[in-house]
Every structure is written in C-alpha cells, then in structure tokens.
C-alpha cells in the first residue's frame, strides 16, 4: 500500500515503532479528551497518530501543571487568551481592531498567532480556560473570519511573501491540529484549501530563491502538516522529499558548510536565528515523521546531525547564543506586538537553540551516543546560565520548559563543561574559548555582508562586521549584550571595531545585505587551540581601509591594527572596548594602578597608559604605552531606534568606553593592545611590565607576533613578505607552534585566491615529517620550506607536523607547469566541432549519450623538463558551476589513451578515449580552485619517456552532473596549472 493511501484504519504498512507512536499519541490525546470532545468514530490511524504527535510537540508532556515554572506559564497563557478573546471584534476589515487586513501582511500572521494562543489555552491544563466552550467558539469564529476575509484561496498575496507561505499557515495549521475535534469538516477543508493556494508544491520545484535553508524547512513543515490535517499522504511525502536538499553540506550560498558555518540570505552568518529555525524545524519534522511511512531515511540527514556540534554549539555560551550569528535579530528587543513584553536577546535566542538541540536529541534520528553527548552539553548550559536561566524564560513554551526540567532532573546525564578550543569559520566568524571566558570576532568580506537590515530591523548595525570583538566570562559579563545593549550603545563605538565616524543614515547600505565590502582577506588560521585572525577592513559608505589582526592566546587576545587610512573628512576610531555597566554604575575602573572617578559624564585622555581594568570584568594592556580616550557615560535609547517594530520605552545604560582616535583623515595609522578577560588590575599591570608577546611586524603588509612561553609564532600576510622567521610568497595566514621537539605549522589562504602558497621558516633541526594534510615539505635542510595546497579549501588551514627526531625528509622540488593546450569537446550534433579558441572550457556528464550536452575538457602539459621521481601531481583548475539544475557538482580527472591531439583540431569524435580514473574535487557556483590528483598519469607519462601528459576532465562516469565552466590557458587570469612534486 502506498503512503498516500493511508486514509483508513491503521495500515499494515506501519512499523512496530509506528504502533508504539500511535499508543503514545493516543495517550497524549486522551489527556485532553475531557475538553476536546468525542473521538472520531473510526479507529485511530496514521494521520491521527501524527496529529497527536504534533499536538504533543505544541503542548509538552511529562510536567506537573501545578508546579513551577509551569503554573505561572500556563496562567500567563490563560491571561493572554482571555485578553484576545475579549478584544476580538470581527468586522469587515479586521478580526481585531488593531490588526486591519489589506495592506500589512504581518497582521494576517499575527491574527493567526492570536488564535493559536487561544487554542493552546483551550487545550492546555491550568490556564483557567481549559476546555472553555466560549473560548472554543471564539477560535472557531476566528477561523471562519480568516477563511472568509483574510486567508482564502482567492486572496492575492501582498507585502511580505513570508507571512503568506510560512508565518500565517504555520499558525493556522497549529490551530487546526489543536482544535481538530471541535472543528467542522468544512472548516478543515477551508484552511487546507487556503494553504494549498499560498504554498503550492511548485515551491519545491527547485532549491533556489526563498525556498532554501531554514525557509525550505518551514515550507516543508507547512506542507507536511497540511497533509496530516487534510489526510493527504502525497503532500506529506512531497514535504519529506523536499527536505533532502537541506541536509548536504554546501560550498556557497544558503545552508550548512563542512566547517559548521551556517549562511542564510546568501551572505549572512545566521546560526542564531534562521539557523535556529532550521534546527527547530528539522527536529520537529523528524519527530512528526518518525515511525510512519514517511520517516526520514535520507543518509544525508545523519550528516546534518553531525553538524549540530560543529555549527551551533560553538556559538552557545552559558545558555546564550552569540550576537555575531544572529543577523538583524539582535535589534528586536521588546516587540510592540508581544503580549508578554519579553525582551528578545542573546539569552532568549540561546534558549531556543538549547531547546532545539534537546528536541533533536529526543527525535531518535541521531545515534544514541551522539544524542547522549548533546544532552550532556545542554545540561551544562542549563546549569551555567546564571544571568537568565532558561526555566525563567517567559517566551518559551511548555514543551521546551518541560524538556529542560526533565533533563535537569535526570541523574543519568552528567553536565559537560565548556570546551577549551578555537573555532574558525568560513563565514568570517571565529570563537575563542578558554577556561573561564569566551570571545567571538565578527568580520566581513566580499563573501559576507557588512550587516543585514530589512523589515525596519537592525537600522544601526552598520559596523557590527568591522571586527567586533565580543566576550563573556563564566560568572560575569553574561548580560553585557543582553541588557539593552543594542538600543543604548554608541554604534560608532562597537568593541573591537575600526570605523569612520562619518554619519550614516538608518539602514545605510540598503535592505537585505545589499552591500558587501570588496576585500577578500578575512579569516585566518588555527590549530584548534590558538589562532591568528585578520581582516582587510573596508568602511561602509566610506573611504576607510586598514588591516586588523587578533592573535588568540591562552589568557589574552593580542590585537594589532595598521595601514588605517581614510579620506572622509572625519575622525577614525578603533574601539578598544565599550563595556555595558548596566543601570547601577558601581564598577571600579583603574588606570595604571590608579582608581578613576565613577562619575557619569566623566572623560579623559590618557597618554602613555600601560594598563586599564574594570573590576569584576577584565583588563586591557598597552605594551608600548599609548594614548587612549576614555569616557564613562549614561546613554538613553529605545528598542524602536534600532527596530521600527519594537518598544518605544526609553532605556538608560551606563558605558565605559575606551578607544584610539586616529585623527581626521589618517594615513597609515596603527594600534596595539591586549584584551585579558577576567584579569585584575594588578595582573594587568604585571603583564604590562613583563610582556609575553613580541610584535614581529605591524604594517599594512604583514602583522605578526611571537609568544615564546607558548612556543607560538603567528603571522597574517596581507601580501607576500617576511615577518621574523616566516616568509610567504602570497597572502596567507600562518601559525607555528614548537614544543617538545616538534613543530606544527598551519597555513591558510583567507583570500581564497591562491592554489598553493609557499612558506619558508627560518628553522633548523626539524628532520622528519610525522603528519601532513595538504602540505608538501620541500626541504628541512637549514630551513623548512613548505608548499601548502590552499585552493578549494574555503579558507581552511593545511597542517604539517615535523619532528627533531627520526629520518630526515628527502628534499623535493616543486614545479608549476602551464598548459600547452586546453580545449573541450561536445557530443551529438557538435561531435565534429572544435572549441580550441575558447577562453573557457566546459564539463558536463548528462548520464546519456549523443544528446549534444555532454562535454569534456582536455589539457596537455609538457613534462619533459621534470627531473627525479614524481611523488605528487595536482591539476589545478579554476571555475564554477553554471547550470540551472543545481549549485554544486564533482569534477574528475582521467588519463587519456593518447596524447596525439591538437588544441585546434580535436573534437568529440576524434578525442582520445578516457582510461585511468584519477582524482576528484567539488566545484560550486562560487568561482574557486579545484585540485585534482593526477599523480598516476604524470608519473606514467614520465616513466614512458613521453614529453606530454594528456589529461581529460569530466564528471564521474555513470553520474549525472552539472555544467561547470573552467578557465583555459587563453584566460587572462587563473589559467590551469599542473603542480608537480619530484624527489
């Protein structure tokens, strides 16, 4: 029996797990039977079970409604429903007078949301309205009004697409699930028909537009639940199938990346908001579909699960989620439309992430060990969230509160501690965690927007991607950004940033990440414990340029800036820090051992200062002594100043601001300081007197330090150059750590422009190579010379470890060969056409033959000049996918049966046959390098005495691929090259 035929009694197709789910769903529904009305006459079936599962997700299980925190939450829900019921006044143009329908689509969503709250109050125990006939009648009246006036199959959508396809239907379908037994078949049908109108299956036709990432999951949820409510298995199956494009790792655009980056809206780091929607939506879908004929079986779903720890957990600290991955959500604060008037901040967003991970752990999708690890991690967050405990969060629903309380009560789960690590992400974000504190750095580049604004949100987040350095302590500072920071902070004094003070208009730069900087150098390198981070800074609507670096150590972050230049006619600042002192202003501020006034409005410029500290927070060290501007000031603002939908209530917070003033129109300005979270004034003074860090370079070309006590040398090369013992032949980031007779070197290319980078280290005594990943050691004699294969890594590091003991590595030579011939051939009607004069070449495997759409690229290289034995050969190609059928594919190199072809003569029909299958590599719509291992073919060409290595590039045989367009030797930039290592 097909899944879409399951409309009668319990199907024999259901698994034993499905039967158990039915029993559980029946129990959930039975608990509400006294006010839901009589059960359907027929026996429970799959759809009933799934509806019961969904009701359980909405209402929660296993909690005592009379106990804290549930009693208060249920009472508040009842109060809200009572208010909504009393104020409902159906009229021609509105269901509630304050939500006129016709021009603002959000009013449709909000109207559905109010009915949802009323339905929850009807179903949930302890609300004071549980099972209320008048409340049920009001919900029914509201549904009928919407079906007639606002959300109908004949309504043309207006304003924001999201309200029609996600916001309104999700809430409407929740109401239908909750009130199912009290609704007439005509009401269910009307709701389903409206959803079909606004969310047709054509939304799933391609993974593009707004149907990607978190939005795709939301759309799948709508269609699946509409299938459950309307008893339509075909829709549930379509929704389940449409989830699959969300699971795989992406190389560009929206989605989850291999390193844990999560991007939405093409170029916005968004794990904290859209990522939460994705995480929560998938968790709910997995639970809804588990044990049914539509259970998620796509193996890529397991790949997604493994990304939870890599993509979301690094941005959660003590239960909060870091603002650097929350986009325009940081500005929401207290929404005017929120009946509870709960402030949305890093803690409330963090509680959502925590709850979503806990729900996913209970979904049964992930292996037991992984789920157990998630629970231990979540329990640690719950216990450490001293500032705004999850169980006190009034914005959370009963299910989330119940799951958290159950976990805290579970003695079999041991809370996991915060890890000590560094995580660097390709989305221009980094997180540094030490014992007792954590920091997060937000950068931007041509790949990521300055900031996102839209829908009247985040109006002044202009500089939040200009090197903002946020940090928190284990028992202090967790309210730094939660306590009305964004509406009250000076947006030109965001901590860590270098900015022009040129006045910017609200929403400057344009809606929806309209503006990105032109720089490509943003990122760095890490060994997982320490890191060198850097940014080639550009100003928003400004002439500002500069180079910034953050060297992340054990108890400090050493910050350098150089080449700071601007011609805006205004001053340029680098903000050392801007601490939110809250409303009380009691913190003690010390400069070089002297306590400063706590008077609000106080300011002073300190010359030659070496250390500053705020009691109970941390300190800043200025190793060379410098001029620092300081002010202690009260600032007043409202959430509405940064978000038009938010509260207009004035809020005042006190700030201690420290900054460098580089002057008006600076040329080549620089700075140096060290952040030491949790450090006392005395310890900061001691560090200033005995620095552990030596600055090797601080220029526009290179910024580098050494820290002998940690065995570290780190350098960011913005151009080829030398810093201390390190020389690089191209822009790159290098981390060297020496200890116990070993030297580990990590090299990355944050610009993502080089296929390989050669790094020379003025170090002797390291003989053998104990481990290498993407790094070729050319020599260890007198100095160490490395060739790092950085192409196609998306800025990730390549690592090699050398040892002072063991046999010496044999010297090797690297040769970069340009192609002597490049072209492509095409089958079918084009089988006799030559394309040897083209500036690009194409690859595509259609899986068929003779259709005219299969294309292979051919390349020839003169290898006659190579000497020695070929130990490695990589074919480097540059290009991207250009195909309406998708966004990424895999290229594969092949040896050819003959090298006897010519660039201007070869065609598909005369091309040499493919022989040995060689290396593969991914390519996406983003232009990038792809490296294909062709060692066997080049070695064979040399062994045979031939002077030419003939290679073909196609896609794996038998696999349907996408069209990829690659540069040829005729291209002006990034032509193909063959990198050969001989010994």
* Closest to 776 in 3D by CA, of 917, 523, 975, 983: 983
- Residue burial 666-675, b: 16+ Cβ < 10 Å; e: rest: beebbbbbbb
Sign of the Cα torsion 137, 142, 145, 147 reads negative
Distance CA 224, CA 233 (A): 9
Decide: 147 and 140 in contact? Cβ < 8 Å. no
Decide: 777 and 769 in contact? Cβ < 8 Å. yes
How would DSSP label each residue in 523-561?
A: EEEE-SS-EEEEEEEE-TTS--EEEEEEEE-SS-EEEEE
Single out the catalytic residue among 47, 122, 215, 451: 215
Count Cα neighbours of 819 within 13 Å in the Cβ-side half-sphere. 26
* Closest to 123 in 3D by CA, of 182, 185, 169: 182
From 398-407, 578-587, 628-637, the region with the lowest mean pLDDT = 578-587
Phi, psi of 140 (to 5 degrees): -60, -45
End-to-end CA distance of the chain: 64
Phi, psi of 679 (to 5 degrees): -85, 145
Decide: 620 and 576 in contact? Cβ < 8 Å. yes
Residue 13 has pLDDT above 50, yes or no: no
Distance CA 507, CA 125 (A): 45
C-alpha distances (whole Å) from 215 to each of 230, 238, 277 are 22, 16, 8
pTM equals: 0.91
Decide: 545 and 700 in contact? Cβ < 8 Å. no
Decide: 527 and 744 in contact? Cβ < 8 Å. yes
Residue 329 has pLDDT above 80, yes or no: yes
662 carries an active-site annotation: no
* Closest to 682 in 3D by CA, of 594, 608, 598: 594
Q: What is the pLDDT of residues 582-601, one digit of tens each?
A: 888 999 999 999 999 999 99
Distance CA 592, CA 594 (A): 6
Residue 103 has pLDDT above 60, yes or no: yes
Residue 304 has pLDDT above 90, yes or no: no
In the prediction, which pLDDT does 551 show? 99
Report the SS3 class of residue 430: strand
Distance CA 570, CA 544 (A): 11
pLDDT band at 44 (very low <50, low <70, confident <90, very high): low
From 661-665, 743-747, 946-950, the region with the lowest mean pLDDT = 946-950
Sign of the Cα torsion 129, 134, 137, 139 reads negative
Identify the DSSP state of 679: -
* Closest to 174 in 3D by CA, of 217, 218, 112: 112
Residue 194: exposed, middle, or buried by beta-carbon count in 10 A (0-12, 13-18, 19+)? Answer: buried
Helix pair angle (346-361, 274-289), 10° resolution: 20
* Closest to 799 in 3D by CA, of 810, 791, 807, 790: 790
422 carries an active-site annotation: no
Q: What is the pLDDT of residues 350-386, one digit of tens each?
A: 999 999 999 999 888 889 999 999 999 999 999 999 9
pLDDT band at 25 (very low <50, low <70, confident <90, very high): very low
Residue 1 has pLDDT above 70, yes or no: no
The backbone region for 816, taken as left when phi is positive above 0, alpha when psi lies in -120 to 50, beta otherwise, is: beta
Distance CA 720, CA 198 (A): 55
Q: What is the pLDDT of residues 62-74, one digit of tens each?
A: 999 999 999 999 9
Mean pLDDT of 514-529: 96
The backbone region for 703, taken as left when phi is positive above 0, alpha when psi lies in -120 to 50, beta otherwise, is: beta
C-alpha distances (whole Å) from 899 to each of 184, 604, 821, 948, 949 are 75, 75, 11, 7, 7
Q: What is the pLDDT of residues 443-488, one digit of tens each?
A: 999 999 999 999 999 999 999 999 999 999 999 999 999 999 999 9
Decide: 330 and 457 in contact? Cβ < 8 Å. no
**How many Cβ atoms sit within 10 Å of the Cβ of residue 773?**
13
Sign of the Cα torsion 183, 186, 190, 193 reads positive
Decide: 716 and 702 in contact? Cβ < 8 Å. yes
274 carries an active-site annotation: yes
Distance CA 415, CA 374 (A): 10
Mean pLDDT of 575-582: 95
Decide: 507 and 588 in contact? Cβ < 8 Å. no
In the prediction, which pLDDT does 587 show? 95
* Closest to 799 in 3D by CA, of 605, 530, 595, 546: 530
Mean pLDDT of 872-887: 95
In the prediction, which pLDDT does 14 show? 36
Q: What is the pLDDT of residues 762-784, one digit of tens each?
A: 999 998 998 999 999 999 999 99
Phi, psi of 915 (to 5 degrees): -120, -105
Decide: 777 and 784 in contact? Cβ < 8 Å. yes
Count Cα neighbours of 812 within 13 Å in the Cβ-side half-sphere. 23
In the prediction, which pLDDT does 453 show? 96
**Residue 470, beta-bridge partner list:** 440
Tally the residues of the chain: 983
In the prediction, which pLDDT does 19 show? 34
Q: What's the mean pLDDT when you consider all of the chain?
A: 93
Q: What is the pLDDT of residues 78-88, one digit of tens each?
A: 999 999 999 99
**List of residues 6+ apart from 972 with CB closer than 8 A:** none
Phi, psi of 347 (to 5 degrees): -80, -45
Single out the catalytic residue among 122, 151, 180, 274: 274
| Percent of the chain surpassing pLDDT 70 | 96
Single out the catalytic residue among 122, 151, 232, 265: 265
Q: Estimate the share of the chain in helix, then strand, then coil, as percent rounded to the nearest 5.
A: 30, 30, 40
Distance CA 513, CA 465 (A): 12
Residue 504 has pLDDT above 80, yes or no: yes
């Amino acid at each position: 029996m097909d899944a879409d035929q399951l409309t009668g009694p319990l199907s024999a197709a259901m698994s034993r797990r499905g039967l158990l789910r039915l029993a559980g769903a029946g129990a959930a529904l039975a608990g509400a039977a006294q006010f839901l009305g009589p059960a359907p006459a027929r026996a429970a079936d799959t759809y009933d079970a799934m509806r019961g599962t969904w009701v359980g997700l909405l209402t929660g299980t296993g909690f005592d409604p009379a106990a804290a925190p549930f009693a208060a939450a249920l009472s508040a829900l009842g109060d809200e429903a009572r208010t909504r019921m009393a104020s409902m006044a159906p009229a021609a143009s509105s269901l509630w007078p304050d939500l006129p329908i016709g021009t603002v689509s959000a009013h449709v969503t909000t109207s559905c949301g109010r009915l949802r709250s009323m339905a929850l109050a009807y179903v949930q125990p302890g609300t004071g309205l549980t099972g209320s006939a008048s409340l049920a009648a009001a919900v029914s009246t509201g549904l009928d009004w919407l079906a007639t006036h606002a959300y109908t199959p004949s309504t043309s959508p207006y304003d924001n697409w999201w309200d029609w396809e996600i916001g309104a239907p999700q809430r409407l379908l929740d109401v239908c699930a909750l009130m199912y037994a009290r609704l007439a078949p005509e009401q269910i049908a009307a709701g389903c028909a409206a959803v079909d109108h606004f969310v047709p299956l054509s939304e799933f036709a391609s993974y593009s537009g707004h149907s990607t990432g978190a939005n795709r999951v939301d759309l799948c949820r709508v269609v699946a639940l509409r299938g459950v409510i309307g008893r339509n298995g075909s829709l549930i199956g379509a929704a389940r199938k449409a989830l699959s494009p969300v699971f795989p790792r992406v190389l560009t655009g929206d989605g989850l990346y291999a390193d844990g980056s999560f991007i939405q809206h093409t170029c916005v780091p968004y794990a904290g908001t859209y990522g939460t929607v994705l995480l929560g939506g998938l968790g709910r879908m997995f639970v809804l579909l588990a044990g049914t004929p539509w259970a998620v079986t796509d193996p890529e779903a397991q790949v997604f699960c493994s990304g939870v720890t890599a993509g979301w957990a690094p941005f959660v600290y003590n239960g909060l989620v870091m603002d650097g991955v929350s986009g325009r959500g940081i500005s929401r604060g207290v929404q005017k439309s929120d009946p509870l008037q709960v402030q949305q901040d890093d803690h409330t967003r963090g509680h959502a992430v925590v709850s979503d991970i806990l729900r996913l752990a209970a979904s049964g999708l992930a292996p037991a060990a992984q789920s157990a690890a998630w629970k231990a991690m979540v329990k640690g967050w719950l216990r450490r969230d001293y500032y705004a405990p999850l169980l006190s969060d009034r914005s959370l629903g009963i299910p989330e509160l119940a799951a958290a309380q159950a976990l805290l009560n579970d003695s079999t789960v041991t809370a996991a501690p915060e890890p000590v690590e560094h995580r660097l992400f390709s989305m221009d974000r980094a997180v540094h965690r030490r014992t007792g504190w954590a920091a997060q750095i937000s950068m931007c580049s041509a790949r990521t927007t300055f900031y996102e604004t839209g829908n009247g949100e985040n109006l002044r987040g202009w500089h939040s991607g200009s090197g903002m350095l946020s940090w928190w302590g284990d028992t202090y500072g967790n309210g730094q950004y939660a306590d009305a920071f964004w509406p009250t902070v000076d947006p030109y004094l965001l901590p860590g940033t270098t900015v022009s003070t040129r006045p910017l208009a609200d929403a400057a730069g344009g809606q929806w990440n309209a503006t990105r900087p032109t720089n490509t150098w943003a990122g760095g390198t890490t060994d997982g414990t320490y890191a060198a981070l850097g940014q080639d800074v550009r100003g928003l609507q400004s002439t500002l340029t500069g180079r910034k670096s953050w060297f992340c150590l054990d108890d400090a972050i050493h910050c350098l800036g150089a080449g700071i230049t601007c011609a805006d006619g205004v001053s340029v600042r680098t903000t050392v820090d801007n601490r939110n002192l809250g409303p009380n202003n009691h913190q003690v501020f010390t400069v070089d051992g002297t306590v400063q006034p706590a008077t609000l409005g106080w300011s002073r410029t300190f010359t030659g200062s070496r250390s500053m500290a705020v009691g109970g927070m941390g300190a800043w060290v200025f190793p060379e002594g410098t001029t620092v501007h300081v002010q202690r000031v009260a600032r007043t603002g409202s959430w509405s100043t940064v978000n038009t939908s938010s509260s207009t209530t004035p809020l005042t917070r006190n700030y201690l601001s420290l900054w460098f003033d580089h002057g008006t129109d600076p040329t080549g300005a620089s700075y140096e300081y060290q952040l030491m979270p949790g450090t006392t004034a005395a310890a900061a003074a001691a560090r200033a007197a005995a620095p552990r860090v030596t600055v090797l370079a601080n220029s526009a070309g290179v910024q580098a330090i050494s820290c002998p006590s940690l065995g570290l040398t780190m350098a960011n090369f913005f151009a080829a150059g030398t810093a201390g013992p390190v020389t690089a032949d191209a822009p790159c980031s290098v981390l060297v750590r020496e200890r116990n007779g070993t030297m580990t070197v990590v090299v990355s290319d944050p610009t993502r422009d080089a296929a390989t980078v050669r790094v020379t280290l003025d170090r002797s005594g390291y003989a053998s190579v104990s481990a290498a990943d993407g790094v070729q050691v050319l020599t260890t004699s007198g100095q160490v010379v490395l060739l790092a294969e950085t192409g196609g890594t998306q800025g990730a590091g390549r690592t090699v470890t050398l040892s002072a003991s063991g046999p010496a590595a044999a010297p090797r030579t690297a040769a970069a060969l340009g192609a002597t011939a490049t072209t492509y051939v095409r089958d079918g009607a084009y089988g006799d056409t030559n394309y040897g004069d083209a500036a690009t070449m194409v690859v595509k495997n259609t899986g068929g033959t003779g259709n005219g759409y299969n294309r292979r690229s051919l390349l020839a290289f003169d290898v006659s000049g190579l000497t020695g034995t070929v130990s490695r050969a990589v074919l480097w190609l540059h290009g991207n996918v250009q195909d309406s059928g998708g966004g990424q594919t895999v290229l594969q190199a092949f040896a050819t049966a003959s090298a006897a072809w010519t660039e201007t003569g070869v065609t598909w029909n005369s091309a040499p046959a493919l022989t040995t299958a060689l290396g593969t590599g991914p390519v996406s719509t983003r232009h990038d390098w792809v490296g294909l291992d062709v060692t066997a073919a080049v070695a064979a060409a040399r062994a045979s005495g031939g002077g030419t290595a003939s290679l073909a590039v196609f896609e794996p045989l038998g696999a349907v691929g996408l069209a990829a367009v690659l540069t040829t030797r005729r291209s002006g930039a990034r032509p193909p090259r063959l990198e050969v290592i001989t010994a």
